[in-house]
Amino acid sequence: MTAHVPEIVADTARGRTGKRVRLAEALVVLAVGLGSVVGVLTGPLLETPFTGLALTLGAIAAFLLAFRWTLLTERWFLALWVGASIAVAVVSALTGALNGLTDEPYATPAFVQLYPNLYGGTLHLTYSQYGGGPYSIAAAYVYLPLLPWIQVPGLDYRWVAVATWLIAVYLLRAKGAAVLLFGGPYVALVAANGFNDLVPIALLTVAFVPVSRGSSRAAGLVALGLKQFANVFVVLYCLWHRRWTELGVAVGVTVAFLVPFLLFDAGGVLCHAFLFDPGPGCTGGAGFTTVSSIMGHVNYFVWLLWGLGVFGSGYVATLQGPAYAEERAALVRARSASAARPGSGALSATDLMRLPLLRVRARLFRRERPSTAPR
């Protein structure tokens, strides 16, 4: 028996070393995810046209590292990741650190004051936060009719956003990629700041990651009355999967939500709900007028991360399936020709981006083969 003791000791040492390496990898991913957020929100990129884009690239960098080191299937790592993000959200909401990026936690619940002429009036509001202010708001309502009603009277709207974010993360718990992308420090801080995107995202999560058939259908219908991003996601999903009946229902429900307000002020509905102009008048829209204005919004890219998390696994399965067999073969041939590494069946993070590009290139530069038939 003593002859096997050195082997047992060696195996134990290797196991400890492996655990230390895994923990170090996890801490690196956490440092990238948190460090990128702190760096952007405390550095020169804040309030530039690249704020949202920079935060998203940081989140994707953390995801690619976790993917490379196969941490997406490690439950202990995902628990560490979400636990750290929850701590970030709570500290930010309580202390004001990395907070105060929007007036939405004050304006969103206050917009109920404009009912029933929701799109025909202007909200005038003065508020203070974290020892600063007073700040004044004079804005028209630019969302869909149900959003102001999703609140808890007397409770800071930030906690509503944090709670709905946690609900979405819990529903996504079976998808490691979704937990990492949507359960990270970036989205946690968006929730802690009280951005109203988290409420419709939580309902869409119930719709696309169903708890039960009835609850999924109801949540999907309610989401269509909250914020326009949700409607865009549903329409694109129905178009992609050619679900024409569901597409008609989505469009019909959206119109039905707006019809009562068209009777009060049709011009206001057009100006604010469709052109997104938050001013009392209609000057042609705001928020979507330029590419740089979109990239600068801290909250817009949260929808992209959610979409990648929810639908990304299906995308990867497509890349691994027969639909991309030709592109995978081309990738293996390229590897063999360069002798950089032998071809393998596993897809790296880089492959996930290269395979669609190979298909696009093949379709753009495809040439007609010369006919060999006799003339």
Q: How confident is the model at residue 343 (pLDDT cuts 50, 70, 90)?
A: very low
Q: How confident is the model at residue 275 (pLDDT cuts 50, 70, 90)?
A: confident
The reply to whether 364 falls in a domain is no
As a whole number, mean pLDDT of residues 36-48 equals 92
The reply to whether 256 falls in a domain is yes
102 pLDDT higher than 90: yes
CA angle 115, 113, 168 (to 5 degrees): 90
365 pLDDT higher than 80: no
Contacts 24+ apart (CB under 8 A), 17-25: 22/69, 22/71, 22/74, 22/77, 25/65, 25/69, 25/71
CA gap 270, 277 in Å, rounded: 9
Mean pLDDT for the chain? 86
As a whole number, mean pLDDT of residues 122-128 equals 93
345 pLDDT higher than 90: no
The reply to whether 323 falls in a domain is no
334 pLDDT higher than 70: yes
The reply to whether 357 falls in a domain is no
167 pLDDT higher than 60: yes
**Helix or strand (DSSP H, E) at 133:** strand 132-139
The pLDDT assigned to 340 comes to 47
12 pLDDT higher than 80: no
Q: Are 95 and 194 in contact (CB under 8 A)?
A: no
The pLDDT assigned to 303 comes to 96
Q: How confident is the model at residue 212 (pLDDT cuts 50, 70, 90)?
A: low
- Structure tokens, 126: 């003065």
- Structure tokens, 119: 């799109």
Q: What is the percent of the chain where pLDDT is above 90? A: 64
How many structural domains compose the chain? 1
Q: pTM value?
A: 0.84
Per-state percent for the chain, helix, strand, coil, to nearest 5: 65, 5, 30
Q: Are 173 and 72 in contact (CB under 8 A)?
A: no
5 pLDDT higher than 60: no
The pLDDT assigned to 94 comes to 97
315 pLDDT higher than 80: no
366 pLDDT higher than 80: no
- Structure tokens, 352: 């996930």
- Structure tokens, 320: 């691994």
Lowest-confidence pick of 55-64, 93-102, 131-140, 153-162: 131-140
- Length in residues, the chain: 375
Phi, psi of 115 (to 5 degrees): -65, 145
As a whole number, mean pLDDT of residues 76-98 equals 97
294 pLDDT higher than 90: no
288 pLDDT higher than 60: no
CA gap 175, 323 in Å, rounded: 23
Residue type, position 125, single letter: L
Cα distances (angstroms) measured from residue 26 to each of 23, 75, 77, 142, 176: 5, 12, 7, 41, 14
**Helix or strand (DSSP H, E) at 124:** strand 123-129
The reply to whether 356 falls in a domain is no
Q: What domain range includes position 175? A: 2-318
372 pLDDT higher than 70: no
The reply to whether 373 falls in a domain is no
The reply to whether 77 falls in a domain is yes
The reply to whether 76 falls in a domain is yes
Cβ neighbours of residue 3 closer than 8 Å, sequence gap 6 or more: none
The pLDDT assigned to 95 comes to 96
CA gap 138, 337 in Å, rounded: 63
Between 334 and 8, the higher pLDDT residue:
334
10 pLDDT higher than 50: no
Between 341 and 217, the higher pLDDT residue:
217
